[in-house]
């Protein structure tokens, strides 16, 4: 039985393939030959693992060829997480299952008959957000475990308000930026270091009615919170570039440096909205997917559309440093970033007067005289996983900055530079 299971590849049929020119993003969609909607996908242990309705589980090394798993349950699985060689999936009826390979699963006993809507790993523990009242979907708690086998329940404050089950799949519960964070239907965001004691922030709105906006304003502006306007439901939160970015209903965006104090980024001028449903961070950019397509942004402002693709509800996204895999119902999509190589710097890259070039194992930047008159630029290099690396830039009096790359291992990296309010970044590879 074990041998047959591991050899059974879940068939897929390619239904959409968007061919693009070099240097552009590529999208390929596949339709699973099954009637099971998949709700969550994660990358870990060298593979993508997706879970969904009826206890469905699947695993793939590349997002293209999938192996069917046996979860041991017929209950809907709503969320999957991974840590240190262990996949943990959770769902209806208090169901929790674990697996070392994403194919063979063991049923664990949560001791509860709750609807578990999201499971995460953080601060040395697994945490699962649950609804304890299956009829009204109002009361809720958090289950926690050190090993995913023995679980302890912690009640949440009764004044919390969360979205109706099934609407947005609770990607607003996460462990990011060194803290647990929950976004609510009323626009409130709460944070916790231990998932027991929670700090509330003040409410904020994502998006006021278009009639209240200055039609001559810029596409996105930072404004104070105003509880009198707009849709405020928090749909998804991600962390990267030393900031949190939250998505709200009707395309709203908000950001925070500490997860507690937020500024709302608002749409203006009636221009097309991102209207995102899910946001993740890939080590360099935030990627936002939703009804308006797929966008990337460094800090939440001026999102750049990279793909025409529409999801009217939440889409689950996982990233493995090479490709993104999206799961939405019976569709799985593969989003491939532009290919980057040393040739990317054959011609200088220009950013608001800053010229970047590469020769061998040295990247050089040249700042115009007016820009270098006051202060030096800040320069960092990150791995594709988002880890900031130690570098020693050399600053010259002529405005040139040299960054040696000889200590970097083979791989893809991001160089990020900022000067005052200006910030930009480029991706490069070391071969």
Percent of the chain with pLDDT over 90: 29
Question: 176-190, 205-219, 228-242 — which is least confidently predicted?
Answer: 205-219
Q: If you average pLDDT over every residue of the chain, what do you get? A: 75
In the structure, what pLDDT confidence band is assigned to residue 322 with cuts at 50, 70 and 90? confident
Mean pLDDT of 29-49: 87
Query: Mean pLDDT: which of 3-7, 108-112, 157-161, 195-199 is highest?
Result: 108-112
Question: 62-71, 292-301, 368-377, 383-392 — which is least confidently predicted?
Answer: 368-377
The token pair at 41 is 């996908």
Question: 35-39, 101-105, 360-364, 409-413 — which is least confidently predicted?
Answer: 360-364
Looking at residue 261, what is its pLDDT? 83
Question: 44-58, 77-91, 309-323, 350-364 — which is least confidently predicted?
Answer: 350-364
Say if residues 51 and 77 touch (Cβ distance below 8 Å): yes
Looking at residue 339, what is its pLDDT? 54
**Torsion angle in degrees (nearest 10) through CA of 291, 318, 205, 272:** -30
In the structure, what pLDDT confidence band is assigned to residue 165 with cuts at 50, 70 and 90? very low
Strands annotated E in 73-201: 77-83, 86-91, 95-99, 106-109, 115-122, 125-131, 140-145, 152-155, 173-176, 179-183, 189-192, 199-200
Residue 5 per-residue DSSP state: H
Q: Give the residue, 20 or 152, on which the prediction is more confident.
A: 152
Mean pLDDT of 322-347: 71
SS percent in the chain: helix, strand, coil, step 5: 5, 50, 45
Say if residues 128 and 90 touch (Cβ distance below 8 Å): yes
Looking at residue 268, what is its pLDDT? 31
Looking at residue 162, what is its pLDDT? 58
Residue 343: is its pLDDT beyond 50? no
The token pair at 61 is 């090394």
Instruction: Report the C-alpha gap between 253 and 292 in whole angstroms.
Output: 13
Residue 378: is its pLDDT beyond 90? no
Mean pLDDT of 337-341: 56
Q: Give the residue, 380 or 222, on which the prediction is more confident.
A: 380
Q: In what order do the strands lie in the sheet with 422-430?
A: 388-389, 378-383, 411-419, 422-430
Instruction: Report the C-alpha gap between 149 and 208 in whole angstroms.
Output: 45
Q: Which domains does the chain show, CATH number per domain?
A: 2-336 (2.130.10.10), 342-430 (2.60.40.10)
- In tens, the pLDDT along 201-230 reads 655 555 444 344 443 343 333 333 333 334
In the structure, what pLDDT confidence band is assigned to residue 134 with cuts at 50, 70 and 90? low
Looking at residue 340, what is its pLDDT? 42
In the structure, what pLDDT confidence band is assigned to residue 411 with cuts at 50, 70 and 90? confident
């Amino acid at each position: 039985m074990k041998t047959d299971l591991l050899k059974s590849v879940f068939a897929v049929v390619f239904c959409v393939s968007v061919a693009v020119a070099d240097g552009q993003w590529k999208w390929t969609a596949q339709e699973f030959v099954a009637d099971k909607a998949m709700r969550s996908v994660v990358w870990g242990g060298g593979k993508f693992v997706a879970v969904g309705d009826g206890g469905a589980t699947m695993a793939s090394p590349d997002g293209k060829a999938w192996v069917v798993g046996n979860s041991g349950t017929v209950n809907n699985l709503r969320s999957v997480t991974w840590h240190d060689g262990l996949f943990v999936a959770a769902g209806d009826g208090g169901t929790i299952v674990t697996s070392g390979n994403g194919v063979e699963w063991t049923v664990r006993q949560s001791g509860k008959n709750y609807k578990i809507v999201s499971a995460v790993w953080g601060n040395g523990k697994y945490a699962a957000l649950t609804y304890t009242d299956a009829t009204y979907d109002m009361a809720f708690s958090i289950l926690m475990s050190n090993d995913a086998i023995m679980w302890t329940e912690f009640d949440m404050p009764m004044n919390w308000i969360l979205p109706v089950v099934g609407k947005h799949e609770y990607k607003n519960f996460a462990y990011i930026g060194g803290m647990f964070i929950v976004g609510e239907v009323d626009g409130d965001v709460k944070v916790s270091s231990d998932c027991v004691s929670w700090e509330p922030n003040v409410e904020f709105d994502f998006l006021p009615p278009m009639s209240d906006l200055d039609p001559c304003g810029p596409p996105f502006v930072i404004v104070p919170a105003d509880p009198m306007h707009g849709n405020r439901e928090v749909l998804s939160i991600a962390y990267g570039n030393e900031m949190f970015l939250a998505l709200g209903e009707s395309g709203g965006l908000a950001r925070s440096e500490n997860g507690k104090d937020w500024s709302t980024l608002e749409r203006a001028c009636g221009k097309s909205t991102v209207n995102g449903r899910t946001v993740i961070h890939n080590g360099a950019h935030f990627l936002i997917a939703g009804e308006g397509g797929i966008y990337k942004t460094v800090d939440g402002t001026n999102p750049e559309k990279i793909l025409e693709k529409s999801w009217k509800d939440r889409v689950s996204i996982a990233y493995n440093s090479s490709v993104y895999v999206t799961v939405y119902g019976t569709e799985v999509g593969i989003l491939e970033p532009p290919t980057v190589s040393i040739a990317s710097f054959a011609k200088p890259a220009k950013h608001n007067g800053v010229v970047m070039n590469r020769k061998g194992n040295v990247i050089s930047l040249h700042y115009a005289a007016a820009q270098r008159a006051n202060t030096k630029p800040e320069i960092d290099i990150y791995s594709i996983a988002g880890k900031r690396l130690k570098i020693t830039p050399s600053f010259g009096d002529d405005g040139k900055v040299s960054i040696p790359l000889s200590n970097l291992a083979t791989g893809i990296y991001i160089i990020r530079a900022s000067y005052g309010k200006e910030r930009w970044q480029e991706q490069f590879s070391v071969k």
